[in-house]
Amino acid sequence: MLTPLAASSQSEALCRLAPVIPVLVIDDAGSARALAEALVSGGLPALEVTLRTPAALDAIREMAKVEGGTVGAGTLLTPQDVHNAVEAGAKFGVSPGATDTILTACEEADLPLLPGAATASEAMRLLERGYAVQKFFPAEANGGVPALKAIGAPIPQVRFCPTGGVSLKNAPDYLGLSNTLCVGGSWVAPKDLVAKGDWKAIEELAREAAALSRS
């Protein structure tokens, strides 16, 4: 059984692979492998596939075959989601918030989780359980960089991956914070480029994101 401390350690290692974790909403699993190959080639090895579409689990299965990539499942809401994600080959999980039920399910499944927190109280509660690496969500709607900086002042033990409204334009501001390990964003895999199968363009977007500097 994975402890929260071990989960945070693994999540931190994952967040340090690159400054950006692509957040992917995939409608067609047939394009998943090529998409993953483009992102990994561009320097973004950690990939979050959100469980928001019927194709998500099949997409995870395809992406898990890509050498050099580490695919995870986002939008984990229930223990069944956790079970399905692990069965599909996910190596990490991400949730928009955190409940005891979802935390326990991930611990029992040995799946390192990046649990979501939006307030100081939520961050403290997760830290009390042992989760020192968390997702700040929804980042922009929740006050953005100033809010995350303010939370970090009294709770410096917690490191975050802010997600939600993060773009190439504001990512450097988040990455400049001492309590930010990486950011999550969908801009590296625009739906129009995925639909066209323009993997070269996506690889270039990934390379641009991978070159962002961190504090």
Across the beta sheet with 159-162, what order do the strands follow?
116-117, 133-136, 159-162
Question: Is 169 one of the annotated active-site residues of the chain?
Answer: no
* Catalytic residue (choose from 48, 62, 107, 203): 48
Helices (DSSP H) in the chain: which residue ranges? 4-15, 32-41, 56-63, 79-88, 100-108, 120-129, 144-152, 171-175, 191-196, 199-210
Q: How far apart are CA 112 and CA 13, in angstroms?
A: 11
Question: Is 200 one of the annotated active-site residues of the chain?
Answer: no
Determine the residue type at 106. C
List the catalytic residues: 48, 135
